[in-house]
Amino acid sequence: MKKLAGFVILVLRSITLAMRVASRWAVYLSVLVPLVLGTAWVVRNFPRQRVSPALVWGSTPIHNFALWSRAMEAAGHSSTTFTHPPFAIHERSDWDRVLSEEYPRHSQYIASHLGFLKALREFDVFFLPANGFFLGFQSSALFPNLFRRLHGKVLKYAGKKIVLLPYGADAYVYRRVRSAQLQHGLMLSYPVPGREQRQISRDLDFWVDVADVVIPGFMGFDGIGRWDVLTPSPLIVDLGFWSSRNQKKPKTRRTVVVGHAPNHRGFKGSEFVIDAVDQLKSEGFDLELLLLEGMTLRQVRDALVRDVDILVEQLLFFGHGLNGLEGMAAGLPVVSNLEAKGPRSVLDSYTFFRDCPIVSAQPDTVVDVLRDLVSDPEKRAIHGQLGRRYVERWHSPESAQYLFESVIRYLGGEEFALKNLFHPLGEKIPTERR
């Protein structure tokens, strides 16, 4: 009897679920799809006349979206962030419009559609990651890709321009990653995407195909397959927020502090950093490791400027992330992995990356690299000064304005090669659009 009762309950639950799915799809197909397509038709046939395009950044609350938008607004553009609620480490004041605040009485399902419709009417250029703009997070067991595909096609039909800016979780297809070391680190820290490779791959390929401009930074070498701007990284930092190391008060103790800020330890090779510090301490070095975990951005900033002497960003991924730029902006010598020969040679030849003062290290060399820096205060100071200058030149709000104003001009039809935007030979490069 218990088995029969369990079977009946299972059948009733299945019927209830099927009715809910059918009800949702009835609403979607009879109301929301016509509303979205109708809005796109109106926008396409009755476009707003503007002197310059209105820019929107979202809908994933990536912190650089806020920094890029603010930089473009400072340059005189109409630029807005429109996102899901920002992450806890960021301050609400950094963001403009938040979906849940615009539609507090609606479910996220309905709010996502309303937010997309509002953005479709108000903005011209969409800067987004490979999970799309609001509707990319909607899915269904019956048609898992319809939501994701629909809004990308609608944006194109409505005459909107799309600039794809992958950030990581939206674009890492693990089987395409060329470094087995990085692939292992990703699976250590982010195991769930390892089971979602097919969906992530489909989403990424769709947006790479539909986007007008793709700017992947370092990730371009790991299977994205397209970049319209070759740059080591489009990331920027707020130089006013990240005070220079020169403003730091002199330390009264001899202990050298190594900082490390892992959002996920496996991905950044944190165990090798911890082991390296332990080895050097056993050799007699007066050394301390400061792990910056579970902190707000302001707390990390205060620790880097006040306490840290060397920042080890990560040892597995080729290049650097935002934290490496933050360390350089704080006037610190930064250690990260710059060892991949193929990508490194391309970036050194075609971009400004040859000037990057980051000290390169991998798991098997980090002990020697740290020993050298700990033993030489003058070298630490030189790398700190060079790092600050590097960020001021290449990762400031002004550099974002140069990059994205060039993208906007390109989208407007100007004939020049975006791929050579950061070419060290500059005007010597033949002019061509693609």
Residue 306 lies inside a defined structural domain of this protein: yes
Residues 226 and 230: their CA atoms lie apart, in Å, by 10
Residues 144, 182: one domain?
yes
Residues 6+ apart with CB under 8 A from 120: 36, 39, 40, 43, 154, 155, 158, 160
* Number of independent structural domains in the chain: 2
Residues 170 and 405: their CA atoms lie apart, in Å, by 25
Residues 202, 330: one domain?
no
Q: What is the pLDDT of residues 262-313, one digit of tens each?
A: 988 999 999 999 999 999 999 999 999 999 998 999 999 999 999 999 999 9
Look up residue 209 and give its amino acid.
D
291 DSSP β-pair partners: 260
- Using CB atoms within 10 A of its CB, is residue 71 exposed (0-12), middle (13-18) or buried (19+)? buried
Residues 152, 73: one domain?
yes
Residues 217, 249: one domain?
no
Residues 57, 164: one domain?
yes
Residue 384 lies inside a defined structural domain of this protein: yes
Residues 198, 305: one domain?
no
- Using CB atoms within 10 A of its CB, is residue 44 exposed (0-12), middle (13-18) or buried (19+)? middle
- At residue 57's C-alpha, the angle toward residues 346 and 70, to 5°, is 90
Dihedral, CA atoms, 204, 207, 210, 213, nearest 10 degrees? -100
Confidence band of 229 (pLDDT split at 50, 70, 90)? very high
CATH number, domain containing residue 382: 3.40.50.2000
Range of the domain at 118: 25-221
Give alpha helix (H) positions in 125-196.
Answer: 146-157, 180-189
Residue 234 lies inside a defined structural domain of this protein: no
Residues 199, 290: one domain?
no
Residues 84, 183: one domain?
yes
Residues 65 and 57: their CA atoms lie apart, in Å, by 6
Residues 197 and 223: their CA atoms lie apart, in Å, by 12
Residue 104 lies inside a defined structural domain of this protein: yes
Q: What is the pLDDT of residues 301-344, one digit of tens each?
A: 999 999 999 999 999 999 999 999 999 999 999 999 998 888 99
258 DSSP β-pair partners: 289, 310
Residue 273 lies inside a defined structural domain of this protein: yes
Confidence band of 417 (pLDDT split at 50, 70, 90)? confident
Residue found under tokens 């056993």: 282
Residue 164 lies inside a defined structural domain of this protein: yes
Using the CB atoms, write b or e for 140-151: b if 16+ within 10 Å. eeeeeebbbbbb
Average pLDDT estimate for 371-387: 96
Residues 63, 191: one domain?
yes
- At residue 48's C-alpha, the angle toward residues 47 and 53, to 5°, is 105
- In angstroms, what is the C-alpha Rg of the chain? 24
Q: Report yes or no on whether pTM surpasses 0.85.
A: yes
Residues 35, 169: one domain?
yes
Predicted local distance difference test score (pLDDT) of residue 90? 85
Look up residue 175 and give its amino acid.
R
Q: Tell me the three state secondary structure of residue 72.
A: helix
Residues 59, 184: one domain?
yes
Last residue of a domain, one of 186, 221, 256: 221
- At residue 127's C-alpha, the angle toward residues 45 and 242, to 5°, is 150
Residue 232 lies inside a defined structural domain of this protein: no
Q: What is the pLDDT of residues 43-75, one digit of tens each?
A: 888 888 888 899 999 999 999 999 999 999 999
Cβ 205 vs Cβ 171: under 8 Å: no
Predicted local distance difference test score (pLDDT) of residue 434? 43
Q: Which residue has the higher pLDDT, 293 or 416?
A: 293
Residue 229 lies inside a defined structural domain of this protein: no
The side-by-side arrangement of strands in the sheet containing 125-128 is: 97-98, 79-83, 55-57, 125-128, 161-164, 213-214
Residues 108, 191: one domain?
yes
Residues 6+ apart with CB under 8 A from 282: none
